């Protein structure tokens, strides 16, 4: 049996009238990698603070094995300090931190100076490191800084909040505690850094308890899932996939039990109202049972509602959405985008991937007309209506109220062609009336993201430009957003470091491969990995066969590569029946889309949920079915359209 590091016994904590968690029990053993999941605001960060000892619970006890060392990466970024990035990361080493930082600064000075005093100082510190086995730790600090791409000599006060958080992650990693607590460690990391972090934590010898919304990261690391749901802490051994299956079964069982309770309570309430002489001795037991049923039903906490997002599609754009020809952009002489050419057509779903600072946002801004290229041209197509999700939240005024931020202060928004009051619309994004009246600056990161989405979807669009829309969203909201974008009939340009999100959304990927080079690949993240690996192998083989010969593939060759997966279907022309099907599909798609819009409008009307339950269920099921039929018809049309080309 594994060594126990920590346990919670009937721990409770409340802020306000509802507990964040009540009578929570949890055990963490050495070597475990536990993922804590739950909705935004459920209390996950507070639970980590209780475990680390920074927050005292209201009730219950926390047992820690004697001498237990913990380190916590918090979700909120503290104020900047004056010391350098290297010093901040090295401070996680504890007693040896001062020696390691002194050696580092002495080495930097000695590299710039031939002073005998500087060299003597360096030698003395080097000897001390050797005596105290500090070399390994010094090298670990250097390695973590390099892999997180941190600017070692920059003062912390000069860094943005996102970069300061990366520094704090490095500090937590080098501390080598018995129990490492990480709150959203992948936020503000690019995919390469996330993959390195996965490998680092997989080899980590201590125990790990982490909070994340990154499903690929979760699946790669977690040996157990702990779910914080409506104040209750539940442990689910096994993988994330196993958790999803068992959690769904548990929720269904809970729903059935609640329905049985409601039916029983209704019967007993009816009995009491019918004038039975309930105060007779023989009926007092039944009355007490009824009171107990009422208490049980009142104690049940609902899920708090789901975000309800919908997109109001604008009239379709022209076939061509953007044409970029030989576009180039550089900053301070450093090429960000070089000789980029591409034709983006209606229905394309393009993901942009690459390290932080590689130029993804710059390219988006050039495509939508916010930034002029140094050379080359970007030409938009006809009737292009863009909804742009801004990574830095520049579209939000921190002093305005949540309600005023959605539709420029108007009281109504148009959704599905129908006017809706702003308060009702914001309720769909889990902003109650009092929260809708509060200023933007009071919102958490997840709330700000939800507000940005509410603002984004309040206006019709046929092109979605999304720059890091997934940060700070809980998994449930993330999956709803994913489904919404997947069903969007227009064009999507997406920057995200969420690999599962990429795989489920995009049909092609633009990879920023350094030096301003932007390469087009078919498919999502997994497809990119396979193709880029094959391309590197082929390049290495050519280099071996003909040393010194280098050649970059032309745009036309990349286009041929992009269509290679469909080449087999093109070798055979359409039959007579297939041609008739192809000709009929646009009309069928238009009919289905018209029905889908009509049903959606009906479901979003104020009177809809006053209809009988059977009618409500039938409409919602039909909406889902028609959506799938539209998607299948579009896929079939695209397949036949490719084969119909000469």
Q: pLDDT, tens digit, for every residue of 447-475? A: 777 888 888 888 888 999 999 888 778 88
Pick from 153, 156, 157, 181: nearest CA to 169: 181
Q: Which residue ranges make up each domain of the chain?
A: 1-67+205-238, 70-176, 243-299, 320-545+554-568, 570-644
Q: What is the pLDDT of residue 321?
A: 94
Nearest CA-CA partner of 413 in 399, 398, 400, 428: 428
Q: Which residue has 């050696």 as its token pair?
A: 103
* d(C-alpha 104, C-alpha 580), whole Å: 74
pLDDT at 493 over 90: yes
Tell me what pLDDT residue 372 has: 94
CB contact set of 643 (below 8 Å; sequence gap of 6+): 569, 570, 572, 573, 574, 578
Fold classification of 320-545+554-568 (topology level): Rossmann fold (3.40.50)
Q: Residues 425-431: contacts with CB within 8 Å, 24+ apart?
A: 425/454, 425/458, 426/402, 426/454, 428/307, 428/308, 428/309, 428/310, 428/454, 429/307, 429/308, 429/309, 429/453, 429/454, 430/304, 430/305, 430/307, 431/402
pLDDT exceeds cutoff 50 at 555: no
* pLDDT higher than 90, residue 18: no
Closest Cα partner for 639 from 588, 563, 576?
563
- Mind listing the pLDDT tens digit for each residue in 254-289? 777 777 777 777 776 666 666 544 444 446 666 667
Question: Contact at 8 Å (CB) between 71 and 172?
Answer: yes
Looking at CATH, the fold of the domain delimited by 1-67+205-238 is given as Rossmann fold (3.40.50)
Q: How far apart are CA 78 and CA 440, in angstroms?
A: 19
In the chain, % of residues over pLDDT 70 = 81
Q: Percent of the chain having pLDDT more than 90? A: 26
Mean pLDDT, residues 21-43: 89
Q: How confident is the model at residue 412 (pLDDT cuts 50, 70, 90)?
A: confident
CATH 3.40.50.300 for the 570-644 domain, yes or no: no
Separation between Cα atoms, residue 191 and residue 327, nearest integer Å: 25
φ, ψ of residue 637 in degrees (nearest 5): -65, -40
Q: pLDDT tens-digit profile of 88-133?
A: 888 888 777 878 888 777 777 777 766 777 777 777 777 777 777 6
- Whole-number pLDDT of residue 10: 92
- Whether 1-67+205-238 and 570-644 share one fold: the answer is no
User: Quick check: 581 pLDDT over 70?
Assistant: yes
Alpha-carbon gap, residue 408 to 401, rounded angstroms? 11
> Which of 142-146, 333-337, 570-574 has the weakest average pLDDT?
570-574
Report the SS3 class of residue 331: strand
Burial of 195 (0-12, 13-18, 19+ CB in 10 A): middle
Inform me whether the pLDDT recorded for 214 exceeds 80: yes
From CA 592, how far away is CA 26, in angstroms rounded? 51
End-to-end CA separation in angstroms for the chain: 68
**How does residue 362 score in pLDDT terms, banded at 50, 70 and 90?**
very high
Give the model's pLDDT for residue 441. Answer: 81
């Amino acid at each position: 049996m594994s060594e126990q590091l920590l346990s919670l016994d009937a721990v409770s904590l409340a802020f306000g009238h509802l507990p964040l968690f009540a009578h929570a029990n949890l055990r963490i053993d050495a070597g475990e990698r536990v993922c804590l999941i739950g909705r935004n605001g459920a209390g996950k960060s507070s639970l980590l603070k209780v475990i680390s000892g920074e927050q005292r619970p209201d009730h219950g006890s926390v047992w820690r094995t004697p001498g237990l060392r913990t380190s916590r990466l918090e979700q909120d970024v503290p104020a900047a300090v004056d010391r350098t990035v290297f010093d901040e990361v090295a401070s996680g080493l504890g007693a040896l931190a001062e020696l390691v930082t002194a050696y580092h600064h002495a080495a930097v000075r000695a590299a710039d100076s031939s002073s005998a005093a500087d060299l003597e100082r360096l030698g003395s510190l080097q000897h001390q490191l050797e005596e105290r086995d500090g070399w390994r730790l010094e090298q670990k600090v250097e390695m973590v800084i390099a892999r997180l791409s941190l600017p070692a000599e920059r003062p912390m006060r000069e860094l943005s909040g996102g970069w300061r958080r990366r520094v704090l992650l490095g500090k937590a990693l080098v501390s080598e505690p018995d129990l490492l607590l990480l709150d959203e460690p992948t936020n503000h990391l690019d995919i390469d850094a996330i993959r390195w972090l996965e490998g680092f934590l997989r080899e980590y010898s201590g125990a790990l308890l982490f909070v994340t919304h990154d499903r690929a990261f979760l699946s790669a690391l977690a040996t157990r899932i702990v779910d914080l749901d409506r104040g209750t802490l539940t442990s689910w051994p096994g993988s994330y996939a196993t958790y999803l299956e068992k959690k769904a079964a548990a929720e269904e069982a809970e729903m059935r039990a609640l329905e049985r309770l409601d039916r029983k309570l209704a019967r007993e309430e009816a009995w009491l109202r019918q004038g039975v002489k309930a105060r007779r001795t023989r009926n007092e037991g039944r009355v007490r049972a009824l009171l107990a049923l009422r208490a049980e039903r009142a104690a049940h906490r609902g899920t708090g509602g789901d975000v309800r997002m919908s997109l109001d599609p604008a009239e379709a754009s022209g076939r061509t959405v953007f044409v970029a020809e030989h576009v180039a952009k550089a900053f301070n002489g450093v090429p960000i985008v070089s000789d980029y050419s591409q034709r983006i057509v209606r229905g394309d779903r393009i993901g942009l991937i690459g390290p932080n600072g590689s130029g993804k946002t710059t390219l988006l801004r050039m495509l939508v007309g916010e930034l002029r290229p140094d050379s080359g041209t970007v030409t938009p197509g006809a009737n292009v209506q863009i909804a742009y999700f801004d990574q830095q939240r520049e579209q939000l005024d921190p002093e305005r109220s949540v309600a005023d931020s959605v539709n420029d202060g108007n009281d109504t928004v148009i959704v599905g062609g129908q006017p809706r009051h702003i308060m009702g619309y914001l309720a769909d994004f889990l902003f109650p009336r009092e929260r809708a009246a509060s200023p933007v600056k009071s919102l958490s990161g997840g709330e700000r993201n939800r507000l940005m989405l509410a603002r984004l979807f309040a206006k019709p669009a046929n092109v979605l430009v999304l720059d890091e829309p997934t940060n700070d969203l809980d998994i449930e909201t993330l999956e709803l957003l994913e489904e919404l974008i997947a069903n969007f009939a227009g064009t999507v340009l997406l920057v995200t470091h969420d690999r599962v999100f990429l795989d489920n959304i995009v049909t092609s990927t633009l990879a920023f491969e350094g030096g301003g080079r932007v390469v087009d690949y078919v498919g999502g993240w997994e497809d990119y990995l396979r193709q880029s690996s094959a391309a590197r192998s082929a390049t290495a083989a050519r280099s071996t066969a003909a040393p010194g010969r280098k050649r970059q593939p032309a745009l036309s060759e990349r286009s041929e590569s992009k269509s290679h997966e469909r080449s087999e279907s093109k070798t055979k022309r359409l039959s007579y029946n297939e041609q008739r099907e192809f000709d009929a599909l646009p009309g069928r798609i238009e009919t289905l889309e018209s029905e889908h819009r009509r049903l959606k409008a009906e479901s979003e009307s104020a009177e809809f949920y006053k209809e009988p339950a059977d009618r409500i269920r039938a409409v919602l099921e039909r909406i889902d079915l028609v959506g799938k039929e539209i998607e299948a018809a579009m896929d079939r049309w695209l397949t036949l359209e490719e084969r119909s080309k000469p």
